[in-house]
Structure 1
Amino acid sequence: MNELGQKLRQARIDKGYTIDDLQQITKIQKRYLTAIEEGNFDQLPGKFYVNAFIRQYAQTVGLDGQALLNEYQGKDDTNSNDENVTENDSKASTENQGGVEKNAQNSRMLNEQKSSRFDRIRGYLPQIIIIAVVLVLIIGIYTIALNHRNGSNQSATTTSTSSSVKVTDERKSTSKSSSKKASSKASSKSSSSAKSSSTSTSSSKKSSSSSDDLKVSKVKGTRTTSAQTYQITNYPSSGNTLNVSATSDSTWITVTANGSTTWQGSVTAGTPQTIDLPSGITSFMVTSGNATVTELSVNDTSVKLPSTTSSNVVQNYTFQIQSSTNN
């Protein structure tokens, strides 16, 4: 698909972009952009990223990325079919020269090989059945043990709650007994003061707790087909982390803080990545190469990502830090 790379390069030049400009806009590394223009697609992380990066490149320079892929992939399929036809004709000519006797000999050898393979598979069948039964037993035992442990935890929680209720009841009983001995007027004033103090303390605790929680919210009017801006409040001044995971398949992630790349790599399903965010930053950006399977959270606060389609999987998420706390 070298012609594809040349067509993209010419469109970039017509737009007046350099490779560095294109890297800044698409967040794709310069060495990958150069490999696309030169047709060296084996230097990219994989076939999925070849298609994703080409679509992103084409959209940036004003071309239809999916149409380009369909056009040049169709040419590759045609060339492949021509090569297969030539190879089959050559094989047919060689077999005809060998004669009927050689064909018969080859047929007998193939039949013997198939029979041998079937016999070997049939010989391993008892071991396969035993292994499957053992795996089922192990899974069953593990499930029973897990259910038993969950039941024990629930029982312990119930017991702890019951004890707490008893202690509270005893304290209430003691308080009532003490208030009967004092004068009714003093008791009324003391009770009113205690309730007011308790209500004020409880209200201040709830207000402090809710105001200190880190919050991530979308900034209205910033959504585009390939980008979304968020605002973070109650952001601690240090010790912050970004957690990246993939629900399925894999995704290519780039994290940029205050204009500098902090982390870049591939995240696969079942292997989440925790990234330390530098102290003192005012913003950071996450670029996902496969947004349809990407999940993000800041300090264990989940980020609700906008839905996207498979035709535009490369997404940029910008996080603006509104304020920092000393927590």
Structure 2
Amino acid sequence: MGNELLIGDNLRQARLNKNISLDELQQKTKIQKRYLEAIEKGAFDLLPGDYYVRTFIRQYAEVVGVNGDRLVAIYDGEASFGDPLPKREKPETVQGSRSSSSTKQKRKKNWVDYLPTVLIGLIAMTILTIVAYLSIQNNAQNPIIGSPSSIDVRNEITTETTTEDSTEETDSTQSTETTTTSETQEKEEMVIKTTHQTQQDVTVAIEQAQSPLELTFIGLDGRCWVGVMVNGEYVLQYTLEPGDSQSVTLPEGATQANIVLGASANVDMKANGELIPFKEGTMPLLQKNMTLTVSYAMNR
């Protein structure tokens, strides 16, 4: 216990001599202040264990300029304040010595050691430069596409004429095929027509529709009840809210559907993504009864 008090007092005096407060010491050593106070009072039993006692003594001593190894030796009973510091093996010092020796050996190397590598690099770059230069000169003197000779001019003209004729025929054929395809596509575009319109009833015809036909109802400013009937049976009954949407696919091959729209001004209707015009402006909130006829495009 006497050595502990002496160690703590020795460290405390060294700290005061350097005008270091306990708070500053805590920041430098990262040791909690209560442990620093315990060390100065010699109350080592308040520290977590012997390992931390030795570690904290060394850290404290290093900051205040005291030989921490000597204090640890005194704590372990291997020395006293009147004895010289006992010799202790330090693996860290050996490792540092080896590292220092290795560094010195590396420093002994000078630029002469790297001279062969530098010379090899310069030679390789010179060879690559010469090869690239010769390749460029060769390409300039012997182009890949040679100039036509006077002997083969007639044959080349004939070949070029034949090639041009073939190209024109091919372009003509492609143009004809494109025109035919465009005409076919134009013929197969879906057409939506309103064939009959009153305030309450409307008849809409859809031609060249792609099967299956999907009807989509989109809610607008108010609620709208939607009913879709095919072959006397409802395939959709739904009340749309504003911003809501509902879709139904007609049965395959269905050519007619009867549709009831409660407040017709509050809904938009689409067939396969295309808008169906059915609204009549005089009484927009009137119920609308729609007869929808459908003919389908021929699949080719």
Same fold (TM over 0.5): no
Higher relative contact order (CA 8 A, sep 6+): 1
TM-score (norm 1): 0.41
TM-score (norm 2): 0.44
**Larger Rg belongs to:** 2
